[in-house]
Each structure stands twice: as structure tokens, then as C-alpha cells.
Amino acid sequence: MPRPRKTAATEETAVLEVSEEQIKPYNQTIQAPMIDASLAELTLSGDFDIIPKRSPLLEDVEEFIEEEYIPRLQYEVYLDGALVETVDDQSDRLFYYLNENKEQLQSWIDELSSPTNNEEDLALFNTPDNGFVYKSLRQYFAQNGLAPVAPKVTDWMQYYLRKHSPITKEEIAILVKGNLKYSFVPKNM
């Protein structure tokens, strides 16, 4: 099939006459808003960078809000159930008591993680729970006809981690040893 020939299109151009009165509303100069000299700083290129300045009045208001209007959270610190003192949040005294608890908790974790040589403990750690308590691993191996092997679990922490699977060392230490030395109760609640 033959291709059609391209023909040049004729264009008609319309000339509109626009008067000066019709253009005037659109031709007004647009002025930039005035910028307070205290808030702007002229750069070398001639552009304005807005740099907010802090007013002394605003600083006084923020200081008032921080110190007097918003009450600070305080904690009552108890030692074995007896009130020791009331401390502010983020104070040095609060961090002292928290550090004491942290050191106590770490000593409990270290104590539970130390290996034991007690035959009954090793038998408890490494034998299945079948209701019968073996006095030693040798007794367990002898009664079940098994060859003796070295115990896999050698401390209380490993034992509790296996027994109570989704639990942390810190939680185990508190469950086994009890509450920490200091306890805290929010005062402003």
C-alpha cells in the first residue's frame, strides 16, 4: 500500500491587540516582605539568611517553666522496706543508689555463674527430670549403663537458663536471690 504524501500545513496566526490598561494589573512589581533587621543577616552574596535570635524574655520564661512550673519527678528510696530519703530524678544520689543495686546484681550473677564441684548439683544439672534424684553423676551413669562423660552444665546460671529458657541472667539472679538492696517509688504520682 503506498504511503500518503506529507503536505505542509498552513497556519493562521491571529494577532491580538492588547491595550496598556489590560496589562497594567499584571505588570505591578512584586515586593518582597520586609524582614526585621534583628532577625536577618546580610551575606556577601546579597541573599538574606534568617537567623532567629533568642530573646531574653523567652529565656526567662523557659527557665521559669523548668524550675518552678513543671514539678520534678522525685523518688522515695527504700532500704529493706524503710524509707532512706527522697531524691530528685537525674540526681547524683539517685545514680549512687542505682549503682549500688547494679553492683549487687552483678555479684549475684557472678556467684551463680561460678562452676561447682558438688556431685549432687552436677547430677541435678545433667540428668533428666524423672522424679528420681541421683546422688552423683557416677551413680546416674552406673544405674543407666552409660559411659561416664564430662558434665555439660557446671553452674547454677547455666542450669536456670536451660530450665527457664526465655529469661535473662538478671531476672534469674533476682528470682533466686530475692529483691535488690534499694527499691524506688515515684513520689509525684
Average pLDDT (100-115) is 95
Average pLDDT (91-111) is 94
Q: Specify the pLDDT at position 93.
A: 93
Three cell numbers, residue 104: 549487687
Q: Please, which residues have CB within 8 angstroms of residue 112's CB and are 6 or more apart in sequence?
A: 155, 156, 157, 160, 169, 172, 173, 176
The answer to whether the CB of 176 falls within 8 A of the CB of 113 is no
Rounded to the nearest 10 degrees, the angle between the axes of helix 137-144 and helix 119-126 is: 50
Three cell numbers, residue 6: 506529507
Adjacency order of strands within the sheet including 74-79: 82-88, 74-79, 182-186
Lowest mean pLDDT, pick from 14-18, 95-99, 176-180: 14-18
Average pLDDT (86-103) is 92
Pairing of strands 40-42, 48-50: antiparallel
Helix/strand/coil (H/E/C) assignment for every residue in the chain: CCCCCCCCCCCCCCCCCCCHHHHHHHCCCCCCCCCCCCCEEECCCCCEEECCCCCHHHHHHHHHHHHHHCCCCEEEEEECCEEEEEEECCCHHHHHHHHHHHHHHHHHHHHHHCCCCCHHHHHHHHCCCCCCCCCCHHHHHHHHCCCCCCCCCCCHHHHHHHHCCCCCHHHHHHHHHCCCCEEEEECCC
Q: Nearest-CA neighbor of 71 among 184, 181, 189?
A: 189
Q: Specify the pLDDT at position 104.
A: 95
Q: Specify the pLDDT at position 58.
A: 67
pLDDT per position as a tens digit, 33-82: 555 554 445 444 555 555 555 666 666 666 666 655 566 789 999 998 89
pLDDT per position as a tens digit, 113-157: 999 988 888 888 888 876 678 888 888 888 888 888 888 899 999
